[in-house]
Amino acid sequence: MELPVIELEPFLKWRIAQSCKSELPTSFQCNFCNGHLENGDVGKEDGGLDESDSLLRESCARVAACLRETGALVIRDPRCSTDDNDRFLDMLERYFGQTSDLKRKEERPELHYQIMPENARPVMPTGPDRKWRYMWRIGPRPAETRFQELNANPVIPEGFPEWVDVMDGWGHKMIAAVEVVAEMAALGFGLSRTAFTSLMKQGPHLLAPTGSDLSKYADLGNVFAGYHYDLNFLTIHGRSRFPGLFIWLKDGRKVPVRVPEGCLLLQVGKQLEWLTGGECAAGMHEVVSDGTMKAVEASKKAGRSLWRVSSTMFAHIASDAILKPLGHFVDAPASTNYCPIYAGEYVEVELSAINLKNSKR
């Protein structure tokens, strides 16, 4: 399914003209504004669109509508180039392509959230997911928090001198894209521009690439990520080199997602559902080997890696912020299902429920 592509450029230009302040850890050389972006550099805390900004209002409304109706969104952010995505995918293909023994040396079984092969997780009833996952923190964590465990230190694999640079470089660009989408969505929903982003400050944002070995698991029916929703606020992915992602629309249809070159895909997570009183539901999705054989054959011929890397990033609401329906969403029909809860507590409850935290290994 081709979701419509929302161009972020006009809103970004408006943001620069308004000197809007960034709340999130955006720190990178920006090819769009020809400068080095630092969060909190300059600018206003809040401020919305004028009546005269009808085109921008319309694109904010489209962002909100798409998230509400499909649980997903495809965007083009001129700051996130195909080259950046390729640099990230190239490094991760090399990382996942190492032997299992080498990768396992760096596992941290005490942290359910760090390097861990998914085949150790009792998540899906149909069998283990065929993927490896690595987690890298993006942005600062709070000095004091009730939820320390979510904020563990990262592992840097041996033999990758460029690791920090590439992970932070791509991660900061992805979170910058999420920030703009979150602002546009807030305006589109009739909330203040920073209604969501002000709650994301120092959140446990995680760049969490997954790798699936298509030299072993390309045939039909292999599950790389079983049917699930995401428990964070918004998930963003760069374009993968192999197909496989399917989403469920609000009307129950299951559709394959195709992300055009140079675009990014976002998916609604449970925390956004909470903040909108259920109006914007977390999208169910799965990643399976369906239609991957052709892409695998092409990669084989070209001598390219057969690891399917997904450059997934989970953007979170800050652990110590309260999740509850915002503004007019208090009056949403299902809002009473979303009682106030610390975001960190909600995540812990979810992880316990799916038995990640206490799984025996």
Contact 208, 56 (CB under 8 A): no
Q: In a 10 Å sphere around its CB, with 0-12 CB exposed, 13-18 middle and 19+ buried, how is residue 268 labelled?
A: buried
Return the number of the residue (129 or 230) whose C-beta is nearest Fe ion: 230
Q: Report DSSP letters for 118-137, one per residue.
A: GGG----TT---S-EE--EE
Indicate the residue whose CB is closest to Fe ion.
230
Least spacing, CB of residue 58 vs Fe ion, in Å: 30
Q: 230 or 279: whose CB is closer to Fe ion? A: 230
The strand ranges marked E within 303-352 are 307-310, 312-315, 322-323, 341-342
4 DSSP assignment: P
β-pair partners for 31: none
Identify which range of 118-126, 132-140, 144-152, 226-234 contacts Fe ion by CB under 5 A. Answer: 226-234
Q: How far is the CB of 310 from Fe ion (least distance, A)?
A: 9
User: Which residue's entry shows tokens 């009682």?
Assistant: 339
Residue where the block lists tokens 């609401």: 317
- Applying CB under 5 A, the span of 59-67, 79-87, 230-238, 245-253 interacting with Fe ion comes to 230-238
Nearer to Fe ion, 49 or 284 (CB): 284
Q: Which residue has tokens 């997911």?
A: 129
* Choice between 191 and 317, CB closer to Fe ion: 317
The number of residues in the chain equals 361
Query: Considering the complex, what minimum distance in angstroms separates the CB of residue 236 from Fe ion?
Result: 11
Q: Provide, rounded to whole angstroms, the least separation between the CB of residue 286 and Fe ion.
A: 8
- How many helices (H) and strands (E) the chain has is answered by 9, 19
Q: Does 118 bind Fe ion (CB under 5 A)?
A: no
What angle do helix axes 163-188 and 82-96 make, rounded to 10 degrees? 130
Q: Where are the alpha helices (DSSP H) in the chain?
A: 9-17, 54-70, 82-96, 100-104, 163-188, 214-217, 270-275, 292-302, 343-353
Give the nearest distance from C-beta 285 to Fe ion in angstroms.
Answer: 6
Kindly tell me which of 60 and 259 has the beta carbon lying closer to Fe ion. 259
Which residue type, as a one-letter code, is found at position 140?
P
Mutual angle of helices 9-17 and 54-70, in 10-degree steps: 130
Q: Is 230 in the site for Fe ion (CB under 5 A)?
A: yes
The residue (of 37 and 343) whose beta carbon lies closer to Fe ion is 343
CB 181 within 8 A of CB 196: no
Tell me which residues in 285-304 interact with Fe ion (CB under 5 A): none
Choices 22-30, 83-91, 188-196, 224-232; region in contact with Fe ion by CB under 5 A: 224-232
Q: How far is the CB of 288 from Fe ion (least distance, A)?
A: 13
Q: Which is nearer to Fe ion, 210 or 335 (CB)?
A: 210
Q: Which of residues 176-195 bind Fe ion (CB under 5 A)?
A: none
Cβ distance 263 to 83 under 8 Å? no
In angstroms, what is the minimal distance from the CB of 302 to Fe ion?
29
Distance of CA 287 to the CA centre of its chain: 15
- Report the residue number, 92 or 191, with the smaller CB distance to Fe ion: 92
Number of residues that bind Fe ion (CB under 5 A): 1
CA distances to 16, 243, 245, 306 from 240, in Å: 30, 7, 9, 12
Choices 60-68, 121-129, 211-219, 223-231 (CB under 5 A): range interacting with Fe ion: 223-231
Is 77 a binding residue for Fe ion by CB under 5 A? The answer is: no
Please give the Cα distance from 1 to 126 (Å, whole number): 26
Contact window for Fe ion (CB under 5 A) among 64-72, 77-85, 229-237, 255-263: 229-237
Query: Residue 244 or residue 325: which is nearer to Fe ion going by CB?
Result: 244
**Shortest CB 282 distance to Fe ion, Å:** 9
Rounded least distance, CB 225 to Fe ion, Å? 6
- Summarize as ranges the residues that interact with Fe ion (CB under 5 A): 230
